[in-house]
Amino acid sequence: MGDRVTIQEVAAAAGVSASSVSNLLNGRTGKMVPATRERIERAIADLGYRPNRAARQLRSGRTQTLGLVVPSVGNPFWGAFAREVEVAALELGCNVLLCNSERDAARERRYVEELWEDGIRSIILCTSLPSLDHVADVIEDGLRLVTFDRPAQPNDPASVISISIDNNVGGQIATSHLLGLGHDKIAFVSGSIRSVNRAARYRGYCDAIEAAGMSVTDMPSWTGFGAEQFGDVEAAQVGRAAAHALLAPDADRPTAIVAVNDMTALGFCRGARDMGLVVGEDVSVIGFDGIILAELYDPPLTSVRQPIGEMARLAVGEAVQAGARSDGAGRSVLLRPEIVVRESTRPPHSTATSRADVPTGGSR
């Protein structure tokens, strides 16, 4: 550490010019005499030189920093994803600048612009807004944008890359699982489904219901929180409120529910408990995402898992290889989610004895 060593000092120590040092630093070693190269490398090592990023960026306009905008790291899913992104970025020598949008378009826009102004040219944006209009001009200016958890939309700018699971398929998998267990009163529980991925999950749910020869309109439903009152962290509250409404004694009670994500599912479980019901017995619950807490919960929560490690790696790769691929053409990668069956989903009207009497052993 200590006082900064500059490129000039390195050049002096190696008996070359700053230009040569710079060339080496930037991999332009094609025409460099090995001896020169070695002298420079030795000088760099000896002096413990590390380039000043501000200067480098000021001059070149480039950064080694990746922007990551998530709805909220307070939500375990996004926290886990952010961590995976950081790991992947680190492997590629990038830093990550993390921002929380709270799923607010204005904040998303503000952050994206701010990052751009800071010289950051690659951003992973975890948004699920149907339109990217709010960041269109930055994209036009040349921002490399990778959206996550939001499949490509018809009107997206051409250069946008999207990484997502196939939420429609996920919704179907979840619902089919419940149908397969024999449930026939299945509700879908979510906050606002204005977001693309949520809508897709809901559509998957509908598709599976219809495919089974039933009608979605016959299913119990809950619309207490159609608007966006709740941020991501409050998802649990949505689930809890839904449980209170759907499981009321006088309600048309579902025997199972598909929650739009795990936090909502966990909230629903909590709400079911408030109502004196036992999840997995009185009502089955399946969530989405596959957060660690799902496995920890009592009962362990069945969930449609997103392979976040793989997805993070993909997203970072696309975001960083900015100039590498000259086509600049966007693309959409849709990964297949997989269900992890645990104990929160069982056949309806289970005849099993109360779980207080029966040790069920570990899951998986």
Residues that bind DNA (CB under 7 A): 4-8, 15-23, 25-26, 31-33, 35-37, 49, 51-52, 55-56, 58-60, 62
Residue 148 one-letter amino acid: F
Whole-angstrom distance, CA of residue 191 vs CA of residue 239? 8
18 contact choice in DNA, a second copy, none (CB below 5 to 8 Å, kind-dependent):
DNA
Q: Which is nearer to a second copy, 207 or 295 (CB)?
A: 295
* Distance of closest approach, residue 191 Cβ to a second copy, in angstroms: 16
Measure the CA angle with vertex 33, ends 31 and 34; round to 5°: 120
Residue 358 interacting with a second copy (CB under 8 A): yes
Positions in 235-254 near a second copy (CB under 8 A): 236
Residue 194 interacting with a second copy (CB under 8 A): no
Q: Which is nearer to DNA, 17 or 360 (CB)?
A: 17
Whole-angstrom distance, CA of residue 16 vs CA of residue 44? 12
Size, binding site for a second copy by CB under 8 A:
65
CA dihedral sign, ordered 224, 228, 230, 231: positive
Cα first-last separation, the chain: 49
* Distance of closest approach, residue 35 Cβ to a second copy, in angstroms: 29
Q: How many CB atoms lie within 10 A of CB 315?
A: 30
118 contact choice in a second copy, DNA, none (CB below 5 to 8 Å, kind-dependent):
a second copy
254 contact choice in a second copy, DNA, none (CB below 5 to 8 Å, kind-dependent):
none
Whole-angstrom distance, CA of residue 19 vs CA of residue 4? 19
150-154 long-range CB contacts below 8 Å, 24 or more apart?
Answer: 150/126, 150/195, 150/196, 150/197, 151/196, 151/197, 151/200, 151/332, 151/334, 152/330, 152/331, 152/332, 153/196
Positions in 257-276 near a second copy (CB under 8 A): 266-267, 269-270, 273-276
Among 37, 39, 53, 194, binds a second copy (CB under 8 A): 53
Among 82, 126, 246, 260, binds a second copy (CB under 8 A): 82
| Alpha-helix runs per DSSP H in 292-347 | 292-296, 308-320
278 contact choice in a second copy, DNA, none (CB below 5 to 8 Å, kind-dependent):
a second copy
Q: Residue numbers of the site for a second copy (CB under 8 A)?
A: 1-3, 50, 52-55, 57-58, 72-76, 78-80, 82-83, 86-87, 95-100, 113-114, 116-119, 137-138, 141, 233, 236, 266-267, 269-270, 273-276, 278-279, 292-293, 295-300, 354-356, 358-362
